[in-house]
């Protein structure tokens, strides 16, 4: 099974730029075209939050217009820039999304089970899951301790070292870590939020964050570094599952490169 992951497209109303400088809508459209052009078609696409920039209804209308071009099944979770109720309304045809409350769900119709956790707090930018959500997660993952499982949420549950990202990280990770560690079949924890690829061994598994299809947040580790981003190389992730070989993840850069050349 090949699972593609796109994150943080920050779609704007038609004709408007992200942060006034970046055509995030065009770049999201290019990311969708990139998935269609891969030499192996993904079986599923995961969109791990910040689908739009300000949570506005007109942004979701534009996002749905762009997603109508995606011919691969996809699943969505919100990010801190999304508005939960507008998000729910925009994806009302996605029957897996709960009708009320946080947008946690489980999809168990693929060779890999997908467990989605809504780590967003309405009106705030840092991540957290309340006791009710953690209890739901505990019940859900304990229902099958054998099937390979991906857990996805928007906020990575670790400190990255980039100060202006860590100021609104997932807070109080210990309860979530204990639940994930209690089972042995979580192949990967997939996240967005940080607009970069990061890897961390955590809770007996691996956390992998996805680059943004729009901008790249600057890698600055000085504790007093000022927030900065680049219009760098956009990318997505490809997670390849094989029953014999397990899971392997690849960064797939979006856009044209020189080549191919006849060597490897």
pLDDT tens string 1-10: 999 999 999 9
Per-residue pLDDT reduced to its tens digit, 17-71: 999 999 999 999 999 999 999 999 999 999 999 999 999 999 999 999 999 999 9
How many alpha carbons fall within 13 Å on the CB side of residue 205? 26
- Terminal-residue alpha carbon distance, the chain: 25
C-alpha span between 192 and 142 (Å, rounded): 25
The values of phi and psi at residue 4, to 5°, are: -95, 150
Listed residue (48, 32, 42, 70) closest to 238, CA to CA: 42
What confidence score (pLDDT) does residue 141 get? Answer: 97
Specify the DSSP element, H or E, that contains 225.
none
**Domain segments of the chain: what residues?**
2-253
Across the strands, what pairs with 48? Answer: 77
CA-to-CA separations, 76 to 63, 97, 165, 184, in angstroms, rounded: 12, 9, 22, 25
What confidence score (pLDDT) does residue 232 get? Answer: 84
- Asked whether 136 and 100 are in contact (CB, 8 A), the reply is no
- Asked whether 161 and 125 are in contact (CB, 8 A), the reply is no
Q: Measure the CA dihedral 220/221/226/227, to 10°.
A: 60
- pTM over cut 0.75: yes
**2-253 falls under which CATH superfamily?**
Metallo-dependent phosphatases (3.60.21.10)
């Amino acid at each position: 099974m090949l699972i593609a992951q796109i994150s943080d497209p920050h779609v704007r109303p038609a004709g408007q730029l992200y942060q006034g400088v970046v055509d995030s809508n065009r770049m999201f459209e290019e990311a969708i075209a990139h998935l269609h052009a891969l030499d192996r078609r993904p079986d599923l696409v995961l969109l791990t939050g910040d689908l739009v920039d300000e949570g506005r209804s007109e942004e979701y209308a534009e996002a749905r217009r762009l997603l109508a071009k995606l011919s691969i099944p996809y699943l969505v979770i919100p990010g801190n820039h999304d508005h939960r109720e507008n998000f729910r309304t925009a994806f009302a045809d996605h029957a897996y999304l709960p009708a009320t409350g946080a947008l946690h769900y489980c999809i168990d119709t693929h060779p890999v089970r997908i467990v989605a956790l809504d780590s967003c707090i309405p009106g705030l930018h840092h991540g957290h899951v309340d006791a009710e959500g953690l209890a739901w997660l505990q019940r859900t993952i304990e229902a099958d301790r054998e099937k390979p499982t991906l857990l996805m949420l928007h906020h990575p549950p670790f400190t990255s070292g980039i100060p202006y990202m860590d100021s609104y990280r997932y807070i109080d990770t210990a309860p979530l870590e204990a639940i994930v560690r209690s089972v042995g079949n979580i192949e990967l924890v997939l996240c967005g939020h940080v607009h970069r690829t990061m890897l961390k061994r955590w809770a007996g598994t691996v956390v992998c964050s996805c680059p943004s299809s729009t901008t790249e947040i600057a890698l600055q580790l000085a504790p007093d570094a000022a927030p900065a981003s680049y219009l760098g190389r956009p990318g997505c992730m490809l997670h390849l599952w094989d029953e014999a070989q397990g899971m392997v993840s690849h960064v797939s850069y979006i856009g044209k490169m020189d080549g191919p050349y006849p060597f490897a």
